[in-house]
């Protein structure tokens, strides 16, 4: 019993010391500082894991990360998101940024909706075909980026090593998008634009994987995010336009077939009624002249 009492007293003292030290460090929520104390942080002794003085109110990066993971929120606001995106845009090299966004102009201006609003409905099909060809060239370019990076790689890998295998994988992947573009360009604009959309998404996922492996710079993926979003939205707009037009054509054909069928049925009904009237107008004796002659 005495041991239990001493243990409770020591625990109470340690808890009070931890709470006091946490309040000095700026940890006001027990949900944040208590797990940090239990996980081995030296809040009780008055010093942090980085050796900061006990009177400092700025939490360490490890403590901030732990508190973020515990609380589940990062106090993210729309303004901070826009500010971060603006910083990413400012960090991009000038020429790739200008050329990249200029390359997105044909995607948006060749969509059927844009062409129709511009007052050129007669060339919608031509513009859609041009957009399909342009999208195919962009997909091929995205694959060729990896061919160029693999050629410019300064890594000297021995044959059969893991580095050599990764380099050969990049060479193989660099030609896959251009091979996938060929059947897409042979399709109609509705199906072709959808196929280009799928290829753009696959290329982005592949580049994201290479970026996580350290093969691509961060600004390139930031730029790719904006441009891929614009390109996919434009191609899907073309797909939606042609699908809507095909549905309207199918409905119109069904209505025409129904109208023709109704006209045929009506004509048959009129012919049947005329035949019935004609048969009713003929006298019964006229139908059997030979019987009267026999009598």
Phi, psi of 43 (to 5 degrees): -70, -30
DSSP state of 288: -
State mean pLDDT over 273-283.
Answer: 77
CA distances from 79 to 76, 91, 283 (A): 8, 18, 96
Give the pLDDT confidence of 217-253 residue by residue, as tens digits. Answer: 989 999 999 999 999 999 999 999 999 998 998 998 9
Q: How would residue 69 be classed by pLDDT, with cut points 50, 70 and 90?
A: very low
Q: Which band of pLDDT confidence, cut at 50, 70 and 90, is reported for residue 79?
A: low
Q: How far apart are alpha carbons 23 and 272 in whole angstroms?
A: 99
pTM for the model: 0.63
pLDDT of residue 158: 53
Residue 28 pLDDT exceeds 60: no
What is the CB neighbour count within 10 angstroms for residue 194?
19
> Is 70 a residue whose pLDDT tops 50?
no
Q: Is the pLDDT of residue 201 over 90?
A: yes
Task: Give one word for 30, left, alpha or beta, with left for phi > 0 and alpha for psi -120 to 50.
Answer: alpha
DSSP state at residue 152? T
Calculate what percentage of the chain has a pLDDT beyond 70.
Answer: 65
What is the rounded average pLDDT of the residues 193-206? Answer: 96
For 259-277, write each residue's pLDDT tens digit: 999 988 888 888 888 888 8
- Reported as a single tens digit per residue, the pLDDT across 116-166 is 999 999 999 999 999 999 999 999 999 999 999 888 876 555 555 677 777
Q: Note the residue count of the chain.
A: 295
CB 151 within 8 A of CB 160: no
Long-range residue pairs from 165-174, CB within 8 A, at least 24 positions apart, any chain: 170/146, 170/210, 170/215, 171/146, 171/147, 173/143, 173/146, 173/206, 174/143, 174/144, 174/145, 174/146, 174/147, 174/150
**Secondary structure element (H or E) that encloses residue 65, with its range:** helix 61-71
More confident position, 10 or 191? 191
């Amino acid at each position: 019993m005495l041991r239990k009492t001493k243990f409770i007293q020591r625990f109470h003292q340690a808890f009070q010391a931890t709470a006091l030290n946490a309040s000095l460090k700026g940890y006001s929520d027990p949900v944040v500082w208590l797990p940090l104390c239990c996980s081995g942080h030296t809040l009780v002794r008055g010093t942090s894991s980085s050796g900061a003085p006990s009177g400092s109110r700025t939490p360490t990066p490890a403590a901030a990360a732990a508190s973020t993971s515990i609380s589940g929120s990062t106090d993210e606001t729309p303004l901070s998101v826009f500010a971060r995106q603006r910083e990413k845009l400012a960090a991009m090299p000038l020429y790739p940024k200008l050329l990249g966004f200029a390359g997105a102009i044909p995607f948006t201006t060749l969509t059927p909706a844009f062409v129709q609003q511009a007052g050129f409905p007669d060339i919608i099909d031509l513009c859609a075909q041009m957009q399909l060809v342009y999208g195919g060239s962009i997909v091929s370019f995205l694959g060729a980026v990896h061919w160029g990076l693999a050629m410019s790689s300064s890594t000297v890998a021995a044959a059969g090593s893991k580095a050599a295998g990764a380099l050969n994988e990049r060479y193989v992947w660099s030609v896959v998008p251009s091979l996938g573009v060929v059947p897409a360009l042979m399709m109609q604009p509705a199906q072709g634009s959808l196929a280009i959309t799928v290829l753009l998404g696959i290329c982005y996922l592949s580049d994201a994987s290479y970026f996580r492996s350290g093969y691509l710079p961060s600004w390139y993926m930031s730029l790719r995010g904006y441009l891929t979003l614009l390109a996919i939205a434009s191609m899907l707009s073309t797909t939606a336009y042609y699908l809507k037009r095909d549905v309207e054509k199918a409905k119109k054909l069904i209505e025409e077939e129904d109208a023709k069928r109704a006209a045929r049925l009506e004509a048959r009904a009129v012919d049947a009624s005329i035949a019935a009237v004609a048969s009713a107008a003929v006298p019964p004796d006229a139908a059997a002249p030979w019987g009267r002659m026999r009598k």
